[in-house]
Amino acid sequence: MRSMKTRHSFPLPARWSQPGHVVISGAMHKTRIRTPRTFDYFGMVLVTQGRGWFEDARTPRLAVGAGDVFFLFPGVRHSYGPHPGGCWDEIFLVFSGDIPRAWQKAGWLPEQPPLIPLGAAAPWVRKMEAVPGLRVPWDAGSCCEEISRLQQLLAGMLAVRKAHQRRRDRTRDWAEEVSGLMEKLMEKQPGRTPDLDTLAARLGMGYEAFRKRFARVFGVSPARHLAHLRINRCCDLLSHPAASNREVAEALGFCDEYYFSRCFKRVVGISPGEFRRQIWRASAEQGKAE
């Protein structure tokens, strides 16, 4: 581990009160994990290149990479660093005082989790480098300007976090709407595959845009997701002893029971007959237990 740059590292004079100031700032190139330690100060660390992880006494291990900033808190043991054999570059600010403690109390310093993905690192590097002042000569005005710049930096990071949350909320709402429409279409026409072009139009989208967004949100194509929904309905029908494989296949629009059996096994991993036998065995064992 070697230091690339350190802007300053000195405390305020003992006679001064400390409403807030930067204790140390700098940049590092890391090739090994930071051993667990506990600060008396607050800190923010922005990864500018590479990948690794961060964890503290309150947070399970988180993956971090270029453009991610994580926060350190007084009295909370933490550790972080690149993956074994890897490296990362970082820029950091360590700060203290009554004002940062007030930020923490107000919930302005992210704690659960103490990480914000900022995207491109370069603009934030410039903003972090601009926070520390020269403080020569020492006076209250220079420290006030410094803590004001730090608060502006924090406000910008919190705005990014809020925007991420809004996008996640919109994505969740969209996914719930799509799932609901698919379920309703399959209930109305259980033996037919829903028309995806019509479904996309109901969402105000062309099919290609719908397909791409669906795959990004659900992790599979719309057709594959529909296949899973159909198989789930098959599982419900197979739990009724009176329903034969042929009847289940016809009810859900499969061309014949053999094609249905192949599709079922490809998704579930076992044949419809074996699935039915497992249900019967589980039901019999539950009856004995009662």
- Write the CATH number for 201: 1.10.10.60
Residues 136 and 215 in one domain: no
Q: Give mean pLDDT, residues 109-134.
A: 91
- Residues 44 and 145 occupy one common structural domain: yes
Select from 91, 92, 87 the least CA-distant residue to 72: 92
Exposure string (b/e) for 112-135, b if CB count within 10 Å is 16 or more?
eebbbebeebeebbebbeebbbeb
The first and second tokens of residue 182, run together, are: 């698919």
Q: Please check whether residues 128 and 219 belong to one and the same domain.
A: no
Structural domain including 263 reads 192-289
pLDDT at 35: 83
Domain co-membership, 122 together with 197: no
Cα 185 from Cα 182, distance rounded (Å): 5
Q: Does residue 179 sit within a domain?
A: no
56, 142: one domain = yes
Candidates 81, 92, 67, 97; CA nearest to 36 is: 81
pLDDT in tens, 193-240: 678 888 899 889 999 999 999 999 889 898 888 878 878 888 887 877
Asked if pLDDT for residue 18 goes beyond 80, the answer is no
Domain total of the chain: 2
Q: And the tokens for 93? A: 């600010």
CA angle 24, 25, 31 (to 5 degrees): 115
Give CA–CA dist 43/54, Å, rounded: 13
Within 13 A of 270's CA, how many CA atoms are on the CB side?
10
- Which residue in this structure is represented by tokens 């028309």? 195
**H-helix or E-strand spanning residue 234:** helix 222-238
Q: Which of 125-129, 256-260, 263-267, 282-286 has the highest mean pLDDT?
A: 125-129
Q: Is the pLDDT of residue 12 over 80?
A: no
Does the structure show a pLDDT above 80 at 7? no
pLDDT in tens, 83-96: 988 999 999 999 99
Strand partners, 228: none
Is pLDDT at 45 greater than 80 in this prediction?
yes
Q: Is residue 201 part of a domain?
A: yes
Q: What percent of the chain has pLDDT over 90?
A: 43
State the Cα–Cα distance between residues 155 and 275, nearest whole angstrom: 55
- Cα angle 257, 252, 192 (rounded to 5 degrees) comes to 125
Asked whether residue 172 is domain-assigned, the answer is no
**Are 10 and 109 contained in the same domain?**
yes
pLDDT tens digits for range 126-182:
999 999 876 555 677 778 888 999 999 999 999 999 998 899 899 999 999 998 888
* Residues forming a β-bridge with 53: 63, 81
Query: Has residue 182 been placed in a domain?
Result: no
pLDDT at 13 exceeding the cut of 60: no
Q: Are residues 103 and 31 in the same domain?
A: yes
